[in-house]
Amino acid sequence: MITVAAISLNVAILIAAYGLMDGMMKHLVANVTNLVAGEVQIHAPKYLVDRSMYKTIQDPMEILARLKRRGIEGAARSYGYGLVACGNKSAGALFWGVDPAREKEAFDLADHVASGQYLETAPQKEIVIGRKLARSLHAKVGSEVVIVVQAADGSLGNDLYTVRGILKAAGDQIDRNGAFMHRQDFQELFVSGGRIHEIALNTRGTVPLPALKGIAAAASPHADVKSWRQLMPALSDMVNFFDAGMWLFGMIFFLAAALGVMNTMLMSTFERIREFGILKAIGTSPWRILGDVAAESYLLSLLSTIIGGIIGVGLSLYLRDKGLDTSLFIPKDAAVSVSGIAFDPVWRATISLKTIFSPIIMMWFISVIASLYPAAIAARLEPVKAMTRV
């Protein structure tokens, strides 16, 4: 019946629309957190104020083990400041000592290389640098660079490295002074004795943020645990802003869908006024009519919204897996970035209880209400009038 089809379609579209909206928000955040920052970071207290080489995390191995027992893999990193020189150009840099295998697994930076490649699993005295740093050094993939640092024991650490890769836009800090190297190379250069300054956690959205923070705090009682919202307040604010915008859009969609559903139910129920008139004429009580209509529409709506729900989920699944490629709207080789980070233009829907059940329940509710109004009218009408309605 048209009614069922109409209601189902409205519900399905609403579900898909909400899925897309939700997906957009998560995409925005994931774009930043999946890159290299992660969802939660652990540091020694006050480490981020000056990134002192000596403010290291206590018992990092213990912490990693505890996290692993809860099913979470952390990426351990060491940092140190120093100088990179290429030819007769030089610039200050923040060096990241990382474990390439772990970074590839938990983060996307390894795929974020504009030219060259990310680090190898074995230490080879290679670095991967930010694009603006590469530009100031006039460095290319394969360029030889000299790295000079103040080692942890006060001596002058220096060595020759090769540029293995240059990154795409990855946020202003990394662009300007980020240089990534293998953890063992870092240790040798900085004589750092295995110091770890940061443990970054990224579950790619599978663990909700408050829970993740709790697990991290439990695993590292003497350390400072921060979520991306505290580490990047600007991003957090932007997300809130867009969230609000989405809410407004969601409202509008809801109203449009509700309108559709209501219309359908109104019309189809009014259609049957003759029927009601006859029933009344043969003596059915108004309440009975109302009751019948209510029950019928209850079932009808349920059926329609469930069908709509199924279609909607199907649509959302497709949109989640295939996604919509919004890069069709932008020129071919333009680089899009959000918060300074190169953005993946494929837009996917997310499926969650929120995006599926709330549309179903709300539309069901509306369609039931919408059918009661005409039924009430019919119930009150005189049978003759009802029967002769055209």
- Rounded CA separation 276/285 (Å): 10
Choosing from 58, 117, 121, 173, the residue that interacts with other proteins (CB under 8 A) is 173
- Rounded CA separation 141/143 (Å): 6
Near other proteins in 150-169, by CB under 8 A: 150, 152-156, 158-160, 169
Near other proteins in 280-309, by CB under 8 A: none
Binding range to other proteins, per CB under 8 A, among 7-15, 69-77, 201-209, 380-388: 7-15
CA distances from 128 to 75, 96, 101, 244 (A): 17, 10, 15, 38
Binding mask 101-140 for other proteins (x = CB under 8 A): ----------------------------------------
Verify binding: residue 17, other proteins, rule CB under 8 A: yes
Residue with the two structure tokens 């909206």: 21
Residue type, 98: V
Binding range to other proteins, per CB under 8 A, among 17-25, 63-71, 197-205, 275-283: 17-25
Q: Which two tokens mark 190?
A: 């900085």
- In whole angstroms, the minimum distance from the beta carbon of 243 to other proteins comes to 7
Burial (CB count within 10 angstroms: exposed 0-12, middle 13-18, buried 19+), residue 161: buried
Choosing from 209, 256, 311, 381, the residue that interacts with other proteins (CB under 8 A) is 256
Choosing from 230, 249, 322, 357, the residue that interacts with other proteins (CB under 8 A) is 249
- In whole angstroms, the minimum distance from the beta carbon of 86 to other proteins comes to 9
Strands (E), the chain: 40-43, 74-86, 89-98, 113-116, 126-129, 144-150, 156-167, 178-182, 198-201, 224-227, 324-325, 337-338, 341-342, 346-347
Near other proteins in 317-376, by CB under 8 A: 324, 326-331, 334-340, 343, 345, 347
Q: Which two tokens mark 364?
A: 């069901």
Near other proteins in 52-91, by CB under 8 A: 54, 83, 85, 88-91
Q: Smaller CB distance to other proteins: residue 150 or 352?
A: 150
Contact 189, 26 (CB under 8 A): no
Verify binding: residue 267, other proteins, rule CB under 8 A: yes
